[in-house]
Every structure is written in C-alpha cells, then in structure tokens.
Structure 1
C-alpha cells in the first residue's frame, strides 16, 4: 500500500492544532479585570501561550511576585475551563490535514502538556473525540515533555514503531521530546513563539510554515528504517 502520510502523526495541541490564544486571552483578562488591571492584547499574550499557564501569568502579571503568581495557577485553570473553545479554533488548514491523514488510512493523536482533564473536554467541542486515536496530557504520565515518555507511550499504546510516527509541535520542548524519543519531528512555524526563539536551532527534521504544506507527501520526514507499508 502506498501511503502519503506516516502511519501515526502525533500533534501538540495549543499552537499546533488549536489556536487557543483567544481563549487564553479571555482568561487572563477576566483575572486582570478582577484585580483592577486593563485588558491585555492578543499580540502581547500570544507568544507565551505554548509555554504554559505560568508563562502566561508571568506575562499578564509581570509586576507580581512569583509566589503570588503561583497561587493564581488554579484560578487561571478554573477560568480557562469556562473559556474552552469559546473564542479559539483550529488553525486554518488543520481540519483538511486531519481529514487527509484519515483518508490515507493513517491515525493521529495528541500529546500535550495541557492538563488531561482540560484536553479531554476540548475534543468533543472540536468534533475530535472519535477521531483522535490517543490523547496524552501533561499529567497523564509521570513525565511530560520535553521528556520523551509521552511520545514513546503513545507509539507503544497504538502498536506503531517510533520510526513510523512523526511528532508535530510549535515549541522547543516538543522537538526535544521527539529527538529524545528518536521520533521524526516537524516544527510548526505557524504556532506561538517568543521573539528570541530560534526554531531552526531546535533540531527538528522539517520546518513547516502552514498546516496545508503538510498535504505534500514530500514534506514529511522519514526514518531510513521505515517499515514497509
């Protein structure tokens, strides 16, 4: 069988599949309003989204002491749960890409550092609950990215050799995890990055500008040990 796509494509969630920055912005702006601060702009928050709740809180409350911000993490998560999928949506081209992978006979899954309970809630909101082959959150296993365990666990659970998988992510942690797992990787340049991030230096196999570019079979990285299809 001649397949266009890898047998299993694993994706990061925020900044890779999902443009969740508008949901995050709504979250921090509720918190800022409650504390008498003016709204934050999307441009100011967007680069921090893939770094997680603590990074977003640091951007939203830069003058606050670390201990105070740490105490706000549960508040952030509770408010974000109320904003899930209300403002954000999949990036342009993602639905077409997922459909193409499925039509080709491949499977796709999600490996994210987002808490599992939040990621699970998102799937039915996006219509992905029966399509996503596996979902691993940041607290599903004893380790999270950049540790390779979540990627290795996903491949093993779905009985797919690591070399027949590809991981797609927009953050350096994603690529470090893939490299440590010996899994081919794609750097999603359409995601969230800080101004001093240098994705070309992360060691990813391929850098891709837009999801629709991955419809081209020639773009996907392959291991020399790729199993016969």
Structure 2
C-alpha cells in the first residue's frame, strides 16, 4: 500500500459491496427464480461473493449460465422484476459507512456514487438506505459505457466540477480499480466488500483497506499532511 499524496477533493464510491451490503436482497431475488421452478435455493455463501456482478454474477452462481447462454435473458428479466419488487428488505450500509460519510462531509469534501447498477434500481434504493445525499450518482446506464471503462467516473468528476485526479475511487471489485486507474484517479480497494473471484492484493490498487473507518483515517492523514506542507 502506498502512502497518500495529494489529498482529494471528492471521494467516489461503488455501491454494492462498498457502501451497502445489498447481497441479501439480490440473493433472495435469484433464489425466488429457483423456488418458482421447483429448485432448492442456492446457498447464500455461494451467492454473496458474486453480488457485485449483479444479474450476471447471481444467475451464474444460481443457474450456471452466462449472458450468451440460452435462457439467460429470461432469467435476467425475472431476476430484475423480483429485485425491483423487494429492493431494500434486508439491504443496509456497512458498519462504519455512516461515520465515514459524515467525516468526509465534515472535512469539506464531496462524495458521490458510481455504480454499474442500472438507474431503475439505483434511484429507488438510495433513499431507502440513507444515501440520498450523494453529491452525484452515476448508474450503469448513465453513460454509454459501464465500468471498467472510465467513462462513468469521468462523468462523476464532471458533475462535481472537479478534475479526475482530484478524486479517489473506492470499490470492491477488480473492475472498480481498473476504471479508477483508467480515469486517472487514486484507487482504494475495500477489503470489507464482496471482492469477487480475484484476490484484491492483485488488483494494483493504490490502497487496500479493511474497513470504512480505515479509509476515514487515511483521508485524515492525507489532509493533515497537506496542512503541514501549507503551514
């Protein structure tokens, strides 16, 4: 993990597995597809690590199908309907996230959300889990490209009126770190998230942290160091 350099003016976050633990409701949506077909529910322990990959991850784990496989589209559409109908039954912010966001705001920094989740889910979910005050929200269908393409992150920086290098991006998936790096942002891999099939140590993030409060401490160190240089 490298030491902090220039402090940011904004922190951008992935949503699922980074700010919010949405896996319980995502898992329930895909298991409803299975039970409707007379199949036993898939073990939650198998579904949880795939939550950051959305429908692709959940259907892959529950049915063994890929997006190009026959039957995937019908399952995806059913999954979307199930999820939209019960989007925030068990979803909640990770421990430490409210304190992290409060600390960011107290430091005079902006924060925003950049997710691959389609806006039809992002928009109703955020106010139900206490994230309605984000400075910007870029969903998976806001721009022409989704992560790992940098376009969504560049859009978020633009909406905040900042240059990309003035932002840090925090995520729990390899695609998050790839997108942040491609956008010219400092990247933070959150070890508290779902993390998927790839070991976070191999993502080449600028920082790998174990908890949201670790990120708050890193920000405070960066801001304090900047204040010392300016003194």
| TM-score of the alignment, normalized to the shorter chain, above 0.5 | yes
For 1:221 and 1:41, locate their aligned partners in 2 and report how far apart those are by CA, in whole Å.
41
User: What residue number does 1:98 align with?
Assistant: 101
1:66-97 CA distance string (max 9 Å, x none): 21122211111111011211112111111110
Aligned partner of 1:30 among 29, 32, 52: 32
Structure 2-normalised TM-score? 0.88
- Specify the alignment match of 2:126 in structure 1: 123
Structure 1 residue 63: Cα displacement: 6.9
| Cα deviations by residue, 1:92-114 (Å, 9 ceiling, x for unpaired) | 11111011111111111100000
Separation in structure 2 between the aligned mates of residue 17 and residue 127 of structure 1, nearest angstrom? 10
Structure 1 unmatched runs, 5+: 223-227
Q: 1:127 to 1:63 in 2, by over 3 A?
A: closer
CA distance in 1, matches of 2:146, 2:41: 32
Partner of 1:138: 140
- Secondary structure (helix, strand or coil) at the match of 1:110 reads strand
CA distance in 2, matches of 1:41, 1:112: 26
Aligned to 1:80: 83
- Match of 2:70, SS state, is helix
Distance 1:220 1:27, change over 3 A: farther
Superposed, which structure 2 residues align to 1:1-229 within 5 Å?
6-62=8-64, 66-129=69-132, 131-194=133-196, 196-217=197-218
Q: How far apart, CA to CA, are the structure 2 residues paired with 1:159 and 1:63?
A: 41
Q: Pick closer, same or farther for the CA change 1:14–1:177 going to 2, 3 Å.
A: same
Give 3-state SS (helix, strand or coil) of 1:52's partner: helix
Cα distance in structure 1, aligned partners of 2:42 and 2:115? 25
Q: CA deviation at 1:217?
A: 3.4
Distance in 1 between the 2:107 and 2:182 partners?
A: 28
4+ runs deviating over 3 angstroms: 217-222
CA RMSD of the aligned region, Å? Answer: 2.1
Structure 2 stretches lacking a partner, 5+ long: 1-5, 224-229
Q: Structure 1 residues 101 and 63 mapped into 2: Cα distance closer, same or farther (>3 Å)?
A: closer
Instruction: State the TM-score, normalizing by the size of structure 1.
Output: 0.89
How many pairs does the alignment contain? 218
